[in-house]
Amino acid sequence: MHPFQCVLRARRCLRRGPLASVSWLLLRTCRAHSSVPSSACPSPQRQQEDGVWKDFSSRLATGPTFQDFLRSASVPPEQPSSSEVEDPPPYLTVDELLGRQRRVYLETYGCQMNVNDTEIAWSILQKSGYLRTSNLQEADVILLVTCSIREKAEQTIWNRLHQLKSLKSKRLRSRVPLRIGILGCMAERLKEEILNREKMVDILAGPDAYRDLPRLLAVAESGQQAANVLLSLDETYADVMPVQTSPSATSAFVSIMRGCDNMCSYCIVPFTRGRERSRPVASILEEVRKLSEQGLKEVTLLGQNVNSFRDNSEVQFNNAVSTNLSRGFSTNYKAKQGGLRFAHLLDQVSRIDPEMRIRFTSPHPKDFPDEVLQLIRERDNICKQIHLPAQSGSSRVLEAMRRGYSREAYVELIHHIRESIPGVSLSSDFIAGFCGETEEDHLQTVSLLREVQYNIGFLFAYSMRQKTRAYHRLKDDIPEEVKLRRLEELITVFREEATKANKSFVGCTQLVLVEGPSKRSAADLCGRNDGNLKVIFADAEMEDATDSGLRVRAQPGDYVLVKDCRGVVGERSPLQRRKHCRLQPISPETVPLSPPDLRFSKRSYMSSFSSEFLHLNVASGNMCVYMRVCT
């Protein structure tokens, strides 16, 4: 058989096998040797080619058969020893990738997402053999998890780097050299400037590069700068279990998605954190279960647009129709189809532990379908608090911001939410002095603050960010002093309206999750109510609801019923310490079963609940009644 025919037959047999590429190489070799042109008068060149052909034919006849070739190709080649490898990479050895118990000091700046990123980064480093320290002087590695949402946030980091540079220069030569790293959004946005400015930083890792931290630190140990700020289309750290940075914490953040597709004209997030991608539902539920088993009492689901969640990992749901947007809202991108949506995830998370509070942030107003609002209303452990970023009260400014809604559509959504969830607590974001904002636009924002009466507000002066649409197409034409004046006016109005809202709590009983001692006074405890408002109350003894003779004190992680008796922010009196995250009593038949070691008498609970706190009233003044169910 001609060699060319032999390879063709082999290629047909191995078309889908691992040897297809090998057979193609042999095919090319045979073609080169068999495509010799014929000639009546052999030239010297032809004679040389004939010699090559005869030599090839003789070697093919006397050499190994095709079966020998197949057998040898199926055996993996021997790995060369380290001495045989030319120019081995000096920073990829297993030993150098290990932390060898070097101590890491982590500082976190910015949003809750950065808090979660810190826990992810520490989880990865811990598995590589690094140790955690809370003492800056002991650290061998200092990592700053940074924010770049505003110029002030970045300036804070630059100031901190100058402080750390001084610490680095004073490090004793007898100790391991101090390495400084920048993680997060600022690393991605200002890579070149950070690496070149006074050589203060040894490593850079963007939000999608935390898995690469051991390698980056290994490179830094050789005296080189190391950086990885590449953004990913699929990185969600779904298989990384974050390590809680505070062992005594009562709550935790769970990242369910990363990135943003909204491309608001003022926002840098799509450029520092990439496009939207969601974690698989199964991964999220597993993390929440583990947190429940650890005894945590509150979980906050995180995402740049948390209610835009869409898990496409389950193939059977990829053809599902897209959930409708809130009425009057639109997107800057093509409508997405299929996947498991946020309502499904929220439903599943809230079922894991009925006594664990569930929050979520930060949502976008466009993605609040009725099924999400209904779920919040019906589930006792989903907090009745919604963050609804407005950014401005002017429809003209909202259009320039590319928010996808008008003031009228936003206000209509507010009314719909309050009708769907009675007593809901609302918070919002506002930007003062955006590009082209007139005094009339500013006054419309003031009027929106008065109309809605938010419980919590996050207000900032506009800060132009490179790469954004506003940077390329709009003009930052509002003087800084005007921005600051408008910001102060917004803050003043917000405080006035928040004070009015707080007065409505007089005489009301609220459920507070205790976080720990108050920073204001050692005699007080601090916690948060269902609406995410900070509550400060006296640290005093209380009775157990199942054993009235037992005197106890509230501990971090306890749910405490408190009553606002004077209408002063933070001035509340504790009524009862209990296990449940529900405020209103429910019938014994509907009380969920507790684990055996936490079981309690439903009748005792109902009796104590009705007799001890339902009949309290404002006339009691600054009274304190303490009750405790079991924890």
pLDDT higher than threshold 80 for residue 607: no
With cut-offs at 50, 70 and 90, classify the pLDDT of residue 337. Answer: confident
Query: Taking the model in full, what pTM does it have?
Result: 0.75
With cut-offs at 50, 70 and 90, classify the pLDDT of residue 336. Answer: confident
Residue 193's identity, in one-letter code, is E
**For range 22-26, the mean pLDDT:** 44
pLDDT higher than threshold 70 for residue 41: no
Would you say 68 and 6 are in contact if contact means Cβ atoms under 8 Å apart? no
- The first and second tokens of residue 402, run together, are 């590319």
Q: Residue 545: its pLDDT value, please?
A: 62
Most confident residue range from 144-153, 209-218, 477-486: 477-486
Q: Residue 26: its pLDDT value, please?
A: 46
With cut-offs at 50, 70 and 90, classify the pLDDT of residue 562. Answer: confident
**For range 322-326, the mean pLDDT:** 72
Per-residue CA distances from 514 to 210, 511, 535, 539 (Å): 33, 10, 9, 11
Q: Could you confirm whether domain 94-228 is CATH 3.40.50.12160?
A: yes
**For range 403-409, the mean pLDDT:** 96
Of 269 and 77, the structure prediction assigns the larger pLDDT to 269
Of 555 and 324, the structure prediction assigns the larger pLDDT to 555
pLDDT higher than threshold 80 for residue 152: yes
**For range 213-220, the mean pLDDT:** 91
Distance CA 36, CA 22 (A): 23
In which region does residue 185 sit, left (phi positive, over 0), alpha (psi from -120 to 50) or beta (all else)? alpha
Q: Which of 34-38, 218-222, 481-485, 532-536 has the lowest mean pLDDT?
A: 34-38
pLDDT higher than threshold 90 for residue 57: no
With cut-offs at 50, 70 and 90, classify the pLDDT of residue 449. Answer: very high
As assigned by CATH, the class of the 509-628 domain is mainly beta
Q: Which of 120-134, 332-346, 594-608 has the lowest mean pLDDT?
A: 594-608
Q: What is the mean pLDDT of the chain?
A: 79
pLDDT higher than threshold 60 for residue 578: no
CATH entry, 386-499, from 3.90.550.10, 1.10.340.30, 3.40.50.2300, 3.30.750.200: 3.30.750.200
Distance CA 537, CA 522 (A): 11
pLDDT higher than threshold 80 for residue 549: no
**For range 365-370, the mean pLDDT:** 91
Name, in order, each residue with C-beta under 8 angstroms of 316's C-beta and a sequence gap of 6 or more.
none
Q: Residue 71: its pLDDT value, please?
A: 61
**For range 17-41, the mean pLDDT:** 46
Cis amide linkage into residue 292, ω under 30° from 0? no
**For range 594-615, the mean pLDDT:** 26
Burial 422-454 (b: 16+ CB within 10 A, else e): eebbbbbebbbbbbebeeebbebbbebbeebeb
Number of Cβ within a 10 Å radius of residue 473 = 10
Q: Tell me 77's DSSP state.
A: P
**For range 550-575, the mean pLDDT:** 70
pLDDT higher than threshold 70 for residue 600: no
With cut-offs at 50, 70 and 90, classify the pLDDT of residue 566. Answer: low
Strands 524-529 and 509-517: antiparallel
Q: Residue 76: its pLDDT value, please?
A: 53
**For range 123-137, the mean pLDDT:** 93
Q: What is the pLDDT of residues 306-321, one digit of tens each?
A: 999 999 887 666 665 5
Of 520 and 18, the structure prediction assigns the larger pLDDT to 520
Q: Which residue has the tokens 């006849």?
A: 61
Per-residue CA distances from 168 to 162, 219, 443 (Å): 10, 18, 50
- The first and second tokens of residue 549, run together, are 């003779």
* pLDDT over 70, % of the chain: 71
With cut-offs at 50, 70 and 90, classify the pLDDT of residue 462. Answer: very high
Q: Which residue has the tokens 């689901």?
A: 301
**For range 572-594, the mean pLDDT:** 45
**For range 204-224, the mean pLDDT:** 91
Q: Which of 113-122, 171-180, 274-283, 438-447 has the lowest mean pLDDT?
A: 171-180
Q: What is the pLDDT of residues 77-106, one digit of tens each?
A: 454 343 333 343 454 566 667 778 899 999
Number of Cβ within a 10 Å radius of residue 610 = 11
* pLDDT over 90, % of the chain: 51
End-to-end CA distance of the chain: 84
Q: What is the pLDDT of residues 273-307, one digit of tens each?
A: 999 999 999 999 999 999 999 999 999 999 999 99
With cut-offs at 50, 70 and 90, classify the pLDDT of residue 541. Answer: confident
Q: Residue 328: its pLDDT value, please?
A: 82
How do the domains of the chain map onto residue ranges? 3-34+49-74, 94-228, 250-316+345-383, 386-499, 509-628
With cut-offs at 50, 70 and 90, classify the pLDDT of residue 65. Answer: low
User: Do 250-316+345-383 and 386-499 come out as alike in CATH topology?
Assistant: yes
3-state DSSP percent of the chain in helix, strand and coil, to 5: 40, 20, 40
- Which CATH architecture best describes the domain 250-316+345-383? 2-Layer Sandwich (3.30)
- The first and second tokens of residue 64, run together, are 């190994």
Count, in order, helices (H) and strands (E) of the chain. Answer: 20, 24
> How is 333-361 classified by DSSP, letter by letter?
SPPP--SEEHHHHHHHHHHH-TTSEEEEE
